Amino acid sequence: MFSRSQQLFHRAQQSIPGGVNSPVRAFGQVGGSPLFIKRAAGAYLYDEDGHHYIDYIGSWGPMILGHAYGPVVEAIREKVYDSTSYGAPTELEIEMAEQIKSMVPNVDLVRMVSSGTEACMSAIRLARGYTGRNKIIKFEGCYHGHADSFLVKAGSGVATYGIQTVPGVTAGVSNDTLTCAYNDVAAVQQMVQQHAGEIAAIIVEPVAGNMGCVLPQPGFLEGLRQLCDAEGIVFIFDEVMTGFRLAPGGAQERLGVQADLISFGKVIGAGLPVGAFGGKRAIMECIAPLGKVYQAGTLSGNPVAMIAGLTLLRELQARPAVYEELEAKTVYLRNGLDAALTAGGHTFTINQLGSMISVHFGPHAVVDFATAAATDIDRFKAFFHHMLQRGIYLPPSAYESWFLSNALSYDDLDVTIAAAAAFPVTSAR
Ligand code: KE4
């Protein structure tokens, strides 16, 4: 007897490539048939077979205060009667820009888009247009969306599916994307010297979340900042994941390093399609219609997405205690998982900062993609299904960060820890 999710997955594959609208959802790395979700509320997902799960994906980041968060739902409900989009400027877009600037002080100007990919893609084009240079440096295992320039040694779903080179990304494009290992400033210095005067931007996830959660080692981001200053390179923080999650001012505030341009997504839209990029006035003024670096979008800044994101950002700004609460819950979970997996005889490592966390099986630290890829992926697969069977929904890939929401209770965390404690050190899967 097939479950309703299995039936739906079979049906979906008749009309949608792989049955999903984003590859990582298809359980490709962990195996099995993806759950089809009927609804979600607070910290919980409810699938089409009536099962409910404690959710550690949170739509990959947006649901920082939980699913169907009351004020966001009400704001959307009220606004949608005014139509869903006008294709003309609105006061709401000004309020959103001012809200972002109030939380991220080094954003002088900001442009709204409809995804994190669009935000990162536009930031790169802008850096190239501003500097007149062609090449960019990204880091192996970092993921900045699916724009051609980024699909070189990328993390997230690209790594999950082991795609080394993405068909359709031309040599002309990929030759302008240089890659270094995360946390290796010396390698970047060498790369910059090899390509003196050619590099427009260095783009980095200030805390990486697409090879699991990988933290910047002391001096990494600071070293990149100094290099960019010395070489006239635009320093771009991809804060699509970390923005408004690690602190009201994101990773810049949390880590004390400033970028020139910052890209945003996820939290900024409260689950609706919103991205943004912003930063130094001198750079942002190169964007059309002020400058000639063209960037546009039919639905950029649409009123329903704006009111959703604005409502969530205002809630986060008004309640900064949420960040301490969220970090305390994540540290509680980390300590609980550490004790449970240690008692179970596992060798593992847990990376965590703020409300981003990931568990990796194997004996060594995970500090870049090479060490993330050297972990025991089969053990992660077994762990994923062990937890899923006990009502805990983890990201279906070892190359993803988990995301906690403040809707999670300590009881939810205890249930999660207890499930991990029951994970056998050897399992058939
Ligand atoms: P989107 O285009 O998916 O909104 O954002 C791309 C992006 C850019 N930068 C960072 C740091 C990101 O994490 C992402 C997207 N994150 C993945 C999860 N690792 C989205 C999930 C998916 O691809 O389905």
Structure confidence by residue, pLDDT tens digits, 195-232: 999 999 999 999 999 999 999 999 999 999 999 999 99
Mean pLDDT, residues 43-58 taken together: 98
Task: Give the tens place of pLDDT for each residue, 11-36.
Answer: 999 999 999 999 999 999 999 999 99
Q: Encode pLDDT of 304-347 as tens digits.
A: 999 999 999 999 999 999 999 999 999 999 999 999 999 999 99
**Residue pair 350/337 in contact by the 8 Å Cβ criterion:** yes
Query: pLDDT-derived band of residue 162, with 50, 70 and 90 as boundaries?
Result: confident
Q: Does the structure show a pLDDT above 90 at 429?
A: no
What token pair was written down for 371? 């060490």
The β-bridge partners of 356 are 353, 403
**pLDDT for the residue 426:** 80
**Distance between CA atoms of 276 and 417, rounded to whole angstroms?**
36
Cα 324-325-330 angle, rounded to 5 deg? 95
Q: Quick one: fold of 4-68+320-421?
A: Aspartate Aminotransferase, domain 1 (3.90.1150)
> Hey, do 4-68+320-421 and 70-318 end up sharing a CATH topology, with the first three levels equal?
no
**What are the tokens at 128?**
């190239």
CA distance 366 to 411: 29
Q: Which amino acid residue places its CA nearest to atom 18 of ligand 1?
A: 60
Confidence of residue 37 (pLDDT cuts 50, 70, 90): very high
Give the list of residues 6+ apart from residue 340 with CB closer than 8 angstroms, or none.
417, 418, 420, 421, 423
Residue 248 has phi, psi (to 5 degrees) of -55, -35
Confidence of residue 428 (pLDDT cuts 50, 70, 90): low
The CATH code belonging to domain 70-318 is 3.40.640.10
User: What is the structure's pLDDT at 165?
Assistant: 82
Residue 262 forms beta bridges with which residues?
237, 278
Least Cα distance to 235 among 262, 270, 267, 209 occurs for 262
User: For position 427, what pLDDT does the model report?
Assistant: 59
- Structural domain boundaries in the chain: 4-68+320-421, 70-318
Report how far residue 119's alpha carbon sits from residue 276's, in angstroms, rounded to the nearest whole number.
5
Residue 33, classified by CB atoms within 10 Å of its CB into exposed (0-12), middle (13-18) or buried (19+), is: middle
User: Is the previous residue joined to 289 through a cis bond, with omega within 30 degrees of 0?
Assistant: yes
Residue 122 structure tokens:
């536009």
Give the nearest ligand 1 atom to 120 CA.
8
Which SS3 state, helix, strand or coil, does residue 5 take?
A: helix
Burial class of residue 132 (count of CB atoms within 10 Å of its CB; 0-12, 13-18, 19+): exposed
Percent of the chain with pLDDT over 70: 99
The residue nearest atom 15 of ligand 1, judged by CA position, is 145
Which ligand 1 atom minimizes the distance to the CA of 210? 19
> 313: closest CA among 380, 265, 383?
265
The distance from CA 396 to its chain's CA centroid, rounded to whole angstroms, is: 14
Q: In 3-state terms, what secondary structure has residue 322?
A: helix
Instruction: Please write the tens of the pLDDT for every residue from 232-275.
Output: 999 999 999 999 999 999 999 999 999 999 999 999 999 999 99
Residue 414 CB: number of other CB atoms within 10 A? Answer: 13
Q: Locate 325 and state its tokens.
A: 């609460």
| Protein residues with CB under 6 Å of any ligand 1 atom | 22, 24, 60, 115-117, 120, 143-145, 156-157, 205, 209-210, 238, 240-241, 265, 400
How far apart are the CA of 330 and the centre of ligand 1, in A?
Answer: 21
Cβ 62 vs Cβ 279: under 8 Å:
no
Distance from the first to the final alpha carbon of the chain: 21
Distance CA 216, CA 208 (A): 8
Report the candidate in 296, 204, 294 with the shortest Cα–Cα distance to residue 251.
204
The protein residue with its alpha carbon nearest to ligand 1, atom 23, reads 22
Q: What is the pTM of this model?
A: 0.97
**Which atom from ligand 1 is nearest to the alpha carbon of 156?**
19
Residue-wise pLDDT for 361-393, tens only, equals: 999 999 999 999 999 999 999 999 999 999 999
Pocket probe for ligand 1: among 266, 268, 358, the residue whose CB has the most ligand atoms within 8 Å is: 266
Mutate to test the pocket of ligand 1, among 117, 369, 401 (most ligand atoms within 8 A of CB): 117
Ligand 1: centre distance to CA 143 (Å): 7
pLDDT tens for each residue of 390-420: 999 999 999 999 999 999 999 999 999 999 9
